[in-house]
Structure 1
Amino acid sequence: MAGADGDDSLYPIAVLIDELRNEDVQLRLNSIKKLSTIALALGVERTRTELLPFLTDTIYDEDEVLLALAEQLGNFTMLVGGPEYVHCLLPPLESLATVEETVVRDKAVESLRKISQEHSPVDLEVHFEPLTLVMPTLRQAAEDKSWRVRYMVADKFSELQKAVGPEITKNDLVPAFQNLLKDCEAEVRAAAANKVKEFCENLPEDGRETIIMTHILPCVKELVSDTNQHVKSALASVIMGLSTILGKDNTIEHLLPLFLAQLKDECPEVRLNIISNLDCVNEVIGIRQLSQSLLPAIVELAEDAKWRVRLAIIEYMPLLAGQLGVEFFDEKLNSLCMAWLVDHVYAIREAATCNLMKLVEKFGAEWAQNTIVPKVLGMANDPNYLHRMTTLFCINALSEACGQEITTKHMLPVVLKMSNDQVANVRFNVAKCLQKIGPVLDNNALQTEVKPVLEKLAADQDMDVKYFAQEAISVLALA
């Protein structure tokens, strides 16, 4: 079969033209997906001189077709003749990188990054860098009247930084980033603030500290007291990471005052974001430097009116405990952990129970026996049945971590005693608890202590109590 002019050699291009003009989107998409086959049929020279110019000049289509094209071109290096000719792929990809649809642009940029690694240093300078000619456009976008355009520049800043390289970053992107951090729109400042750590990490090592201290840190200091809580929160989520980049002395002198200010911020999210990233600072200066300001911030968050804030600080407690050490924890934070067990919100009580288990895993069974277990077991006599049930939930969580001896000597007697509770919910939770801790106990305790109590509960007047008791007997093979 020949092309319209009878020349077999023109057939692949002629067919491609016809298919790309077809009204059927699926047919056009299939054609794009066959590009590598067409390129093989054409050979490297005709792919460079005919196929790529055709694709560059006729890029207009449905987004899914353009997306497929952007992806295909990222794998075309050998089809155009290898790294020596890979710059031929730049024009079509550059055009795709400017289309309206975000996913197409992103895929084109991804392919551009991919082929940039296959350029020689000389070809990068001659062919690829003029793409990033992009700088006038980027500067214009960073100062665009529409805040949404400036926001997108801020949001993609790290990718831009990696694409243009260290020299352009130092000369052009540092001033642009400063301006974005000072932008009049909070959304833009927040997007830029979120990129501070990543931007600083990717700066060239030879001048990194000077650039950060001279150009970036002054902007960061202003953002710490920004009027918008989203900006402050975005900064707080990344600022601790600067300590590992700047080192101990700079952290103590310049960053520590900023951390302390954020720990006192009126916005809970700001304080939480600082606390959740403490491990970065701990690696560099040790957490004791922060402890005096850290404690009031933790206490405020622990007692915050919003239960989700309380929940978040509970989740960070094992991390804090490990960093602060057992003595500081027992002196300052132990009482908080116990208070959460009687919170009026079930999710908080549940998280507090899980927190105790993680603390025991961190500090050990002996610590648990001396500090946690007595307080937990004391709640078994609480007049509020919800608090009595929390005792059972804690025992469920702690038994394995505490081990057989503590569970048998201290926890089991309390559970067995609670089988006489007047509230059916407590009694059936006793049955569930015995089933849970059974594998930790020895056979003698199971036969002489657990089995009689479960048999008594299996004859309970309440149907739920009966059910869970019978299930425990079955699971523990006590029948």
Structure 2
Amino acid sequence: SLKMYSIIHIFYNTIYDEDEVLLALAEQLGNFTMLVGGPEYVHCLLPPLESLATVEETVVRDKAVESLRKISQEHSPVDLEVHFEPLTLVMPTLRQAAEDKSWRVRYMVADKFSELQKAVGSEITKNDLVPAFQNLLKDCEAEVRAAAANKVKEFCENLPEDNREQIIMTHILPCVKELVSDTNQHVKSALASVIMGLSTILGKDNTIEHLLPLFLAQLKDECPEVRLNIISNLDCVNEVIGIRQLSQSLLPAIVELAEDAKWRVRLAIIEYMPLLAGQLGVEFFDEKLNTLCMAWLIDHVYAIREAATCNLMKLVEKFGAEWAQNTIVPKVLGMANDPNYLHRMTTLFCINALSEACGQEITTKQMLPVVLKMSNDQVANVRFNVAKSLQKIGPVLDSNALQTEVKPVLEKLATDSDMDVKYFAQEAISGIQSLL
């Protein structure tokens, strides 16, 4: 329409305006699809955006690339062929942006690479985006390499199926191998968060021959975040080759992370332990990882002890009550006699978490006697946690145990000299009343 072409003419005249105006224009043109008449006419926005993507001001080029990405997604398949396939409009701009002198512009291209790839189709991806992506993976700026590394799995998934494997093996994997030993930990960490996903794309044989050595190298990386990202994505490789291939290298990596000086690293590995246990199996777990899980229960950081308690509950849900009775419960109950009152309290927290998963018999015969005995503890904090525990495990116990064993102890605690013990004992008595 005449109105539409008038708007485009104004855009061209504005290209020579102040930087502030150019920035606003570069940012807003990506939202102008409906204003120029819808997807049918969206190609008219390409020339002004192409010009904006070449101006001197970095932030303007940055926003122009983002707007190009937006409008490229709004072209119909036919328009893609007509306006994008010739590569005379967008590809020179994208190539230029991917090699821009400003790292921020290159970063933006890397960060939005998957969207650009989906928008331009398989032929342009194969001929133009693959070389551009290689360059971004080798960029001199770590931020750009990290952004590109983060897109490796997505980029490979979106490659044309007929020659996907050949492109990855020939063009992408050599870059990935270099990034595994990158000097920047953020780059290595970004890669570690996605590299395991390549195993499902490349299949069993390629994974064993080409990817497995990279996984093993990253499991030994000096940076804990790299090791953690590999471990947190083990399910991908487990589906393809089975986790046993990694088990010998996994163990030292897990142990190091479990004992890392940063408590947040220790916390993260605890949260992946149920997943690891399920994949490695009960025998491997009992032999190699059980001791670690118990050690976390006496960590000096409360958040670790709390997470370790939750971890035990998930392990019991995975391996069953019989396993818990033979493996976990005796060790937990043994902590009731620990000289450190914090460790004695951890026994109570574990009982709270495990009672339901372990069931009535184990709770009544093994756990309850220990809780009742701890009601005589010299530390008030332990005694009021006994009251809270008795209320917590109450629903798992039968009414006879509640009436003859639990209630008398709670009534005794309700007359305790400590105000907090009294309060929680009275709360527990009220809480179990409906169960009697």
Between the aligned partners of 1:253 and 1:224, the Cα distance in structure 2 is 16
Task: Decide whether aligned partners of structure 1 residues 146 and 123 sit closer, same or farther in structure 2, where only a CA change above 3 A counts.
Answer: closer
Task: Decide whether aligned partners of structure 1 residues 66 and 412 sit closer, same or farther in structure 2, where only a CA change above 3 A counts.
Answer: farther
- Can you list the C-alpha shifts for 1:220-254, whole angstroms capped at 9, x where unaligned? 11111111111111111111000000000000000
SS of alignment partner, residue 90 of structure 2: helix
Summarize the alignment of residues 50-199 of structure 1 with structure 2, pairs less than 5 Å apart. 87=43, 121-129=77-85, 133-199=89-155
Q: How many angstroms does 1:145 deviate by?
A: 2.3
C-alpha contact (below 8 Å) 1:33/1:69 kept by paired residues: no
Larger mean CA deviation between 432-441 and 136-145 belongs to 136-145
Q: How many angstroms does 1:477 deviate by?
A: 3.9
Q: How many angstroms does 1:148 deviate by?
A: 2.3
Task: Decide whether aligned partners of structure 1 residues 321 and 62 sit closer, same or farther in structure 2, where only a CA change above 3 A counts.
Answer: farther
Q: How many angstroms does 1:322 deviate by?
A: 0.6
Between the aligned partners of 2:327 and 2:37, the Cα distance in structure 1 is 72
Q: How many angstroms does 1:125 deviate by?
A: 1.8
Larger mean CA deviation between 132-141 and 31-40 belongs to 31-40
Q: How many angstroms does 1:379 deviate by?
A: 0.5
SS of alignment partner, residue 367 of structure 2: helix
- Can you list the C-alpha shifts for 1:342-381, whole angstroms capped at 9, x where unaligned? 1111111111000000101111111111100111001001
SS of alignment partner, residue 74 of structure 2: coil
Task: Decide whether aligned partners of structure 1 residues 69 and 324 sit closer, same or farther in structure 2, where only a CA change above 3 A counts.
Answer: same
SS of alignment partner, residue 116 of structure 2: helix
Q: How many angstroms does 1:66 deviate by?
A: 11
* Identity across the alignment (%): 95
Q: How many angstroms does 1:172 deviate by?
A: 1.1
Q: How many angstroms does 1:124 deviate by?
A: 2.5
Between the aligned partners of 1:35 and 1:439, the Cα distance in structure 2 is 75
Summarize the alignment of residues 374-453 of structure 1 with structure 2, pairs less than 5 Å apart. 374-453=330-409
Between the aligned partners of 2:241 and 2:235, the Cα distance in structure 1 is 10
Where does structure 1 lack aligned partners over 5 or more consecutive residues?
1-30, 41-56
1:35 alignment counterpart: 5
- Can you list the C-alpha shifts for 1:182-233, whole angstroms capped at 9, x where unaligned? 1222222111111111111111111110010001111111111111111111
Q: How many angstroms does 1:141 deviate by?
A: 2.1
Between the aligned partners of 2:105 and 2:181, the Cα distance in structure 1 is 25
Q: How many angstroms does 1:146 deviate by?
A: 2.3
Between the aligned partners of 2:101 and 2:73, the Cα distance in structure 1 is 35
Q: How many angstroms does 1:90 deviate by?
A: 5.7
TM-score by length of 1: 0.80
SS of alignment partner, residue 85 of structure 1: helix
Task: Decide whether aligned partners of structure 1 residues 148 and 66 sit closer, same or farther in structure 2, where only a CA change above 3 A counts.
Answer: closer
Q: How many angstroms does 1:144 deviate by?
A: 2.2
Greater Rg over alpha carbons, structure? 1
SS of alignment partner, residue 207 of structure 1: helix
Q: How many angstroms does 1:167 deviate by?
A: 1.0
TM-score by length of 2: 0.87
C-alpha contact (below 8 Å) 1:96/1:104 kept by paired residues: yes
Between the aligned partners of 2:93 and 2:275, the Cα distance in structure 1 is 45
SS of alignment partner, residue 74 of structure 1: helix
Larger mean CA deviation between 154-163 and 429-438 belongs to 154-163
C-alpha contact (below 8 Å) 2:58/2:102 kept by paired residues: no
Between the aligned partners of 1:395 and 1:61, the Cα distance in structure 2 is 71
- Can you list the C-alpha shifts for 1:155-202, whole angstroms capped at 9, x where unaligned? 221122122211111111111111111122222211111111111111
C-alpha contact (below 8 Å) 1:36/1:76 kept by paired residues: no
Q: How many angstroms does 1:153 deviate by?
A: 1.8
Task: Decide whether aligned partners of structure 1 residues 101 and 279 sit closer, same or farther in structure 2, where only a CA change above 3 A counts.
Answer: farther
- Can you list the C-alpha shifts for 1:94-115, whole angstroms capped at 9, x where unaligned? 7898999999999998987787
SS of alignment partner, residue 35 of structure 2: helix
Larger mean CA deviation between 157-166 and 379-388 belongs to 157-166
C-alpha contact (below 8 Å) 1:221/1:258 kept by paired residues: yes
Larger mean CA deviation between 88-97 and 275-284 belongs to 88-97
- Can you list the C-alpha shifts for 1:69-100, whole angstroms capped at 9, x where unaligned? 99999999899878766655666887898999
Q: How many angstroms does 1:470 deviate by?
A: 0.2
Larger mean CA deviation between 243-252 and 219-228 belongs to 219-228
C-alpha contact (below 8 Å) 2:309/2:353 kept by paired residues: yes
Q: How many angstroms does 1:130 deviate by?
A: 5.8
Where does structure 2 lack aligned partners over 5 or more consecutive residues?
none
Larger mean CA deviation between 361-370 and 177-186 belongs to 177-186
Root-mean-square deviation (Å): 4.0
Between the aligned partners of 1:172 and 1:183, the Cα distance in structure 2 is 17
Task: Decide whether aligned partners of structure 1 residues 227 and 107 sit closer, same or farther in structure 2, where only a CA change above 3 A counts.
Answer: closer
Q: Say if 2:435 is the partner of 1:478.
A: yes
C-alpha contact (below 8 Å) 2:50/2:89 kept by paired residues: no
Larger mean CA deviation between 149-158 and 460-469 belongs to 149-158
C-alpha contact (below 8 Å) 2:69/2:116 kept by paired residues: no
- Can you list the C-alpha shifts for 1:268-289, whole angstroms capped at 9, x where unaligned? 1111010000000000000000
Between the aligned partners of 1:141 and 1:79, the Cα distance in structure 2 is 26
C-alpha contact (below 8 Å) 1:39/1:79 kept by paired residues: no
SS of alignment partner, residue 54 of structure 2: coil
C-alpha contact (below 8 Å) 2:355/2:396 kept by paired residues: yes
C-alpha contact (below 8 Å) 1:353/1:393 kept by paired residues: yes
1:6 alignment counterpart: none
Between the aligned partners of 2:247 and 2:368, the Cα distance in structure 1 is 38
Q: How many angstroms does 1:149 deviate by?
A: 2.3
C-alpha contact (below 8 Å) 2:83/2:89 kept by paired residues: no
Between the aligned partners of 1:70 and 1:272, the Cα distance in structure 2 is 40
Q: How many angstroms does 1:129 deviate by?
A: 4.3
C-alpha contact (below 8 Å) 2:380/2:421 kept by paired residues: yes
